[in-house]
Amino acid sequence: MVVAFALVAGGAIVGFALHREAEQSVKGVAATQARWVERLATEGPVPRILPAVDSARLTLVEVLDGQGRTLAASEQIIDSPDDERHRGSRSDDREFGRLDEGRRNHLKLRGGPWFTESAPAVLDGKPVLVVTFTSLAEYERAIESVGRLLALAFPVLLLLVAGSTWLLVGRSLRPVERIRHEVELITAGSLNTRVDEPKTNDEIGRLAITLNDMLERLQTSVARQRRFVADASHELRTPVTNIAAALDVAQRYPDRTDWPEVGADVAAQNQRMAALIEDLLLSAKMEDQATKSPPELLELASIVAREVEGLGAVAPTIMVADESGGAQVLGDERRMGRVVRNLVANAARHAESRVKITISQTDDEVELRVADDGPGIALEARERIFQPFVRLDQHRARSLGGTGLGLAIVADLVSEMGGTVGVVPNEPHDIGGAVFVVHLPAAPR
């Protein structure tokens, strides 16, 4: 349809341009013939039948007086019948020298169409109007030939374009249809399936690569989600089972049960379950962009001081050294507080007696260093501990009260702020146990 419209519009433009060119080529004839008539008048009386005009195209001349009467004209005009001459209005009050549209086309002569022009002249000291009629028959025949040629060529060209477009587009979209069919067969249970990637480096090939990358991300996300649900179910089952077992034993032997001890055990399991649920909710919200607040300017030392104070008297000795001179970062205050709280709480659980927190800053980076004097972390486990529900045996056991999500939440929150977190080897100023280091982009001063 677009090509058809373009062809029709192009044909119309070509026809219009040819007509304009024909008219432009014969313009100015009236002025020339007016001078010719004036020269005839100098040689004697102007004959009523003017001699043939010497011109490349058939040109007729008519000389009118001030009242619109014909004084002289070419033979074809004189011989034309009155019923073919259709002269326009001849009112005497009409301005001399102007021709209305009816006057400009007042003759129906053979050999047309005609292009009409007028120019003023002077005969015997009186103003007259010289009207010329130039035949455009030659141009008209050429334009008609072009029109017939276009009328024959346009349908053929349109059919060729339509057929070529149908074949080429169909051939180009065949791989897309094949990819669509392959993707349609992929279900939640077959996310490991991949579409065939064409060897061509074009849009279809890049589409297949993008779809495979998307399927890879979906498979990873679904596997992680399933593993997370399984681990969460297992973690929640443990306190529920402990509570059920304690109550079952207490109900069977009510006289020999220490009910305050049972209550304390149930409360502890309930508190552990509440902490686990809170961490699960936070981990689930981590990917929700709608829950993220706009970043604000945060002073890291004040957040550390607040979180250390919130640990209360159960914490070991905590030393805070601010070597940054008031380092600031951009982020969400609650999430930054959660990072500090999880790291300090984790260090406090595993420390023998001391936890050391150090804040420092370089030109474009802020470092938060949390060290404890506990047993430390083996080299091969330093990457694994940031995965959900991963606990190390012995000193990092469930009995210490952790949910197994704290460090995973720290890793996600720090990554969200554009930073990194890891376990690093001890340095001389550390206190001998595990050392967690967070690097964050420094806020502009």
DSSP calls for 44-104: SSPPSEEPPP--SS-EEEEEE-TTS-EEEEEHHHHHS-GGGT------TTSPTT---HHHH
DSSP label of 253? S
Give residue 112's pLDDT band: very low, low, confident or very high (50, 70, 90): low
Element (H, E) at 114: strand 114-123
Answer with the residue of higher pLDDT: 6 or 53.
6
3-state secondary structure of 168: helix
- pLDDT at residue 439, rounded to an integer: 92
Helices (H), 311-436: 333-350, 406-416
Nearest to 340 by CA among 301, 366, 376: 301
What average pLDDT score do residues 46-70 get? 83
3-state secondary structure of 121: strand
Nearest to 30 by CA among 168, 130, 122, 167: 130
Per-residue pLDDT tens over the stretch 78-87? 766 543 443 3
Provide the token pair at 46: 């102007």
Contacts of 89 (CB under 8 A, 6+ apart): 100, 102, 103
Beta bridge pairs of residue 329: 298, 442
Provide the token pair at 69: 């009467």
Residue 237's Cα: distance from chain center in Å?
47
Answer with the residue of higher pLDDT: 43 or 95.
43
Per-residue pLDDT tens over the stretch 299-333? 888 988 888 887 765 567 888 888 877 888 888 88
Provide the token pair at 363: 């030109």
Q: What is the mean pLDDT of the chain?
A: 78
- pLDDT at residue 292, rounded to an integer: 61
Helices (H) then strands (E): counts for the chain:
10, 12
DSSP-derived pairing of the beta strands 126-135 and 114-123: antiparallel
- Give the Å distances, CA to CA, from 36 to 19, 52, 56, 69, 75: 27, 12, 16, 20, 17
CB 85 within 8 A of CB 107: yes
- pLDDT at residue 104, rounded to an integer: 40
pLDDT at 154 > cutoff 50: yes
Residue ranges of E strands in 215-364: 296-299, 317-322, 328-331, 354-361
Q: Name the CA radius of gyration of the chain, rounded.
A: 49
pLDDT at 139 > cutoff 50: yes
C-alpha distance across the termini of the chain, in Å? 62
pLDDT at 286 > cutoff 50: yes
State the Cα torsion 414-416-418-419 to the nearest 10°.
Answer: 10
